Amino acid sequence: MPYIAITVFILIIVAGIFAFYAQKIKKKEFEKTGKHPEGHYLGQGIAYGLPFGFLLAFFIGIYFDNPSFMAIFGPILGMGFGLPIGSYLEKKHSSELRPLSPAELKMKKNLVIFTGLLVALGFIVFALVAFL
């Protein structure tokens, strides 16, 4: 089973590289235009909501004596809290937003491909662990 831990570690490193590169592109565009890209405040709202969702799911998991509740329902509750917050912030700051640049669009496309491959890998690992 150390292969799973090594795989997870490698995926975390790759995700960190993606995040660093995306932040570098965003910072460069912000310095050029002085505006944030569309979806910036939505992402902030989700980032604010996720910890609350995990915390709420943690306590609900303790109440129902089910520790896996946090992993399953934490992101769902967090998105439920964060999306309205992000949507409100996005509307409030709509004059400060700009369309995504070509570099940001390319990064977004690569991130979707990476996420799809990650999900496929997850299914493969699950099948190997569950059925072998």
User: Is the backbone of residue 39 left (phi > 0), alpha (psi -120 to 50) or beta?
Assistant: left
- How many C-beta neighbours within 10 Å does residue 46 have? 19
Span 63-89, mean pLDDT? 89
Predicted confidence (pLDDT) at residue 1 exceeds the cutoff of 70: no
- Full-model pTM: 0.75
> CA-based Rg of the chain, rounded to a whole angstrom?
18
Kindly tell me if the per-residue pLDDT of 36 is higher than 80: yes
Same domain, 69 and 111: no
Where does residue 92 rank: exposed (0-12), middle (13-18), buried (19+ CB within 10 A)?
A: exposed
Residue from 10, 7, 11, 8 nearest 115 by CA: 11
The range of the structural domain enclosing residue 23 comes to 1-37+100-132
Q: Are residues 91 and 108 in the same domain?
A: no
- Res 3: pLDDT: 73
